[in-house]
Amino acid sequence: MGLDQYIYISKENLTDDYYEHLGEAVYENDRLQYYDDSNVLTEIAYFRKSNWLHGYFDRLCEERTGHGIEDCEYFVFSKHDLHTLLEIARDVIATDSIAYAEDWLPPQSGFFFGSTAIDDYYFEDLQDFIDTMEQ
């Protein structure tokens, strides 16, 4: 994860270390792409500079592996994990509360991540995530 964030679905169950061996990074149409020679992964979502999203998965990765997500690293999570995040995002939008957002999906600072304010842009980004995941 990093400035560009992708969510893929897998066509088969992945082993714990599968994501560490997923092929090489290449540029195509001025966009960094990661190719999987086995054609197991399908991209379902793309986000850019969603620092709250990076923070959420970084904390989840830390809980499960003992280290946060490195840039350009794959992290395997379940459909249940994604549904849980979607429900949290919906709750943050519904409450429209900065304190609630800070507790559940706080922005994470980082190199070139931009603002860490919980403002209209934060809530627009959150709504974009919800709309994309509901598709």
The reported pTM is 0.76
Percent of the chain with pLDDT over 70: 73
Rg (CA), the chain: 15
CB of 73 closer than 8 Å to CB of 14:
no
Please give the structure tokens belonging to residue 77: 């999570």
Strand segments (E) across 1-135: 4-10, 25-28, 31-34, 41-48
- 3-state DSSP percent of the chain in helix, strand and coil, to 5: 45, 15, 40
Per-residue pLDDT reduced to its tens digit, 15-41: 554 444 444 455 556 655 555 555 667
Confidence (pLDDT) at 103: 95
**Residues 113 and 51: beta-carbon distance below 8 Å:** yes
Q: Which amino acid is at 55?
A: G
